[in-house]
Structure 1
Amino acid sequence: MARLAYVIKFVADMDRAVAFYRDTFDLAVKMQTPFWSELDTGETVLALHPASAANTAGSCQLGFNLDDLKGFYESGRVDFTAPPKEQHGTLLARMRDCEGAELSLSG
């Protein structure tokens, strides 16, 4: 089963973005660093990540948590842009949806 765990928003100014979402919507800040911040919206986390050439400021990416990411990868149902790899204590991978949008997967 897959669950929408994150909406990742790419931002030009992390401190300004955190303050905006915290103060405008009264969202609790779960964590804040220059490279990744999380705000509590209920079941889905609003994650903020610095923008880059590949992910411009204002763009978003969906992040799904899968019960069995490794099994999903091995099923060959989709093409991955990055295979599952242990990062920050979590198994992470990336794939594209049917319209070419990159999705972040964790498991």
Structure 2
Amino acid sequence: MTKLAYAMVFVSDMKRSIAFYRDLLGLPLKFESPGWTEFATEGTTLALHKASAPNADSDAARNPAGRCRLGLHVPSLDALHQKMTAHGVRCVQPPTMQDFGARLSIYADPDGLPITFAESR
């Protein structure tokens, strides 16, 4: 069976992005370098790769074809929302019950990448 090994996020500022993913989201740092950083996330690696160009379309509310989005589980969306807004992270969608029965929220990372969060069940 094929297994998802890693997801890669292209970033403009490695140090700023490491601080966001490690310090704010609490992802455990696995490897760090100026152009490539990895976080261990229970069976899959989240990798940050230094971008070669700025983000041309950083509208986090759009969902165009050909894009993907990270989705992370957290124990409490309300606690996450308080933490993210206290640190000035842009909230794209506050904690909201979806029609498919899950409660989700969306925040933009330092480069505008939308990340969806769901409460762990």
Alignment TM-score, normalising by the size of structure 2:
0.43
More strand by share: 1
- If asked which structure has higher relative contact order (CA below 8 Å, sep 6+), I would say 1
TM-score, length of structure 1 as denominator length? 0.48
